[in-house]
Structure 1
């Protein structure tokens, strides 16, 4: 009787414990695999971000170099334009002085000889 009771009760209990162990083993295996996948996914993300960061840093460095070259060109162009403006201002001052001299000469001529009759001159010719 005792054997019957033990066999009758312990065998299903053993089967139940075996099933629970199997389920726990499968779940644990899946959890470990999931954790491994999480780690590999994290490593992939970190590697990808690191690579993109390096590429971005290279692009930033290149843009900084291009900006510095542009800045040098800009400064050279501004210097050249300022020189040209200075030369034009000097030329303008010389021309204004020449105009003042010519006007004074013209006024002196008119004071000495009188005005010129342009309309009469144009009608004759």
Structure 2
């Protein structure tokens, strides 16, 4: 769970775009090759962490909602509401991480296209 938390925390800010932007700006073939080579592994690591977190959230929510001995008292209902609220917060964090990841993937794809269009043929 700690590795998952670290990976998702990194996803909130996403990878640093500056090196990729600079590689395209300067037509740095080596930097682009390194980024292109590392990107599939980084993406698969993120996908695995996001899947594990979504699965954990779903399991915990199901366990909370299907408890046969749910406490009908106001204190019990408040406890359930608090636990569900915590799961909603985790879900929102995961959704944010996915949005950042999606934006990063779009940026990488656009930078790769820019590099191929303007650097691969020696245009810059």
The answer to whether the superposition gives a TM-score over 0.5 is no
Q: Normalising to structure 1: TM-score of the pair?
A: 0.38
| Larger RCO (alpha carbons 8 Å, 6+ apart) | 2
